[in-house]
Amino acid sequence: MRNRLEEIRKERGIKQEELAAALEVSRQTIGSLENGRYNPSILLAFKIARYFGMKIEDIFIYEEEQG
């Protein structure tokens, strides 16, 4: 799965730390999502989508996973 988090965050001129605070997660969590180290839980995905006023599918792009 890939995501457009960094792109969308930068469009809005927001720092990782600000986004993290707004979502009540750590800065490292945001960085890890942006750099693809892991996927968000569905709850965090909902929080992110709601924060940006978008749908989950507009931010997180499901592609056939390996396996």
Min separation Cβ 6 and its own copies, Å: 17
Q: Is 33 exposed, middle or buried (0-12, 13-18, 19+ CB in 10 A)?
A: buried
Which helix (H) or strand (E) segment is 2 a member of?
Answer: strand 2-3
Task: Return the residue of 7, 38, 57, 58 that touches DNA, per CB under 7 A.
Answer: 38
**Contacts with its own copies, residue ranges (CB under 8 A):** 1, 39-43, 45-46, 50, 55-57, 60, 62, 65
Q: Which does 7 bind (CB under 5 to 8 A by kind): its own copies, DNA, none?
A: none
Residue 35, SS3 per DSSP:
coil
